[in-house]
Structure 1
Amino acid sequence: MARMKFICDTERCIECNGCATACKAEHDIPWGVNRRRVVTLNDGVPGERTISVACMHCSDAPCMAVCPVDCFYRTDEGVVLHDKDVCIGCGYCSYACPFGAPQFPSNGTFGLRGKMDKCTFCAGGPEDNGSQAEFEKYGRNRLAEGKLPACAEMCSTKALLAGDGDVVADIFRQRVLVRGKGAEVWGWTTAYGQPGQAAKKEGA
């Protein structure tokens, strides 16, 4: 069984926000909620990069671990979804998630939290696939239609990849080989920004 994953190629992302726009349009997402957003790293300095961020559908999802009412569940494809009928809006998942995926629409003057909303990998929710109830709560179920998430399909530079984790990893691996950067793309320099340390560690 395929395990669905996202990966964003920062060498290709041009900060067009097409992915975020496609997501909001496809699912009729309410104002103030962003299931996907584009983040700029090292803004205005050499080495600036942009990356598209949403729920990464973790294999060991921290949101699932902290939810006091167990509103989260994982599908056979490895997609982490939630049940809005069970969610109590406590916000624990938003504190636990390192990607800031869970979103809480604010209602009223004092910002009272409503039901949590997040990226569904375009896989809908617990209601019947393609039903009106599913669309109203979670948006369109593209996965049930045999399609990939709208954000990835809309990406003009194909920086955002989505699908079977093994296939996505192979595509990215081929890109790295063509660029000629080898394993150092995700190595010591990338993590700590200290050129030369990687070579020292490899020689040690």
Structure 2
Amino acid sequence: MKEAKSKYFQSIALHFFKHRGAPFFLSSKELDYIARWEEMEIPLHVVLEGIERSIEIYKRKPGRKAKIRSLVFCDLQVLKAFEQDRERKVGHKKRIVERHEKRDRAKAEIERFLEKIPHQINYLQEAYSLAQEVLSQSHFDEEKLERIEGKIEELLWKNSLDEEKERVKRRIAKDYKSKEEEEFERIFKIKLVKVLRDKYKIPYISLFYY
């Protein structure tokens, strides 16, 4: 068990060091995050996927020439990757999808969504219309899509009903082992947004999901 734990920590650290370079050690806070991921039973390949997503998103931000310096900044994408992994069907095989194909898929999903957007979430119409405009451009800005994605999640969180929040809180308390308040709130927010997306069939904006 101790050997498996050591491999989990070392694999994550080595993967991150390949991106960051020196210093070749992790802070106590970064080690705490890895410990939490392990406590939540997030598979190693999912953590690495979340780190890669974080790196790619960071690279696309304007004016960002430096590299991600801390694993802490990867936490959100690791948790999102974990949610996706939990929903994948057994035996499902991913294939490499070209960037333009992802764009076309996202654009089609958004168009269908805007045609029949539920009245309960009509407050998302402006954000999705903007995303549609961005994706219609020949040289579209993926960073702008990421910002719109973040705005959509904030709107879902802000406009969610109290009873929806309570249902999700009860489910998280049952499914997740982490007792840290900060960690619980982070997972709670991600899970609530995911529940609302599923309920109203809300498509993603970020091309990571296509």
TM-score class normalised by the smaller sequence: under 0.3
Instruction: Identify, as 1 or 2, the structure richer in strand.
Output: 1
Q: TM-score, normalised by structure 1?
A: 0.22
Instruction: Identify, as 1 or 2, the structure richer in helix.
Output: 2
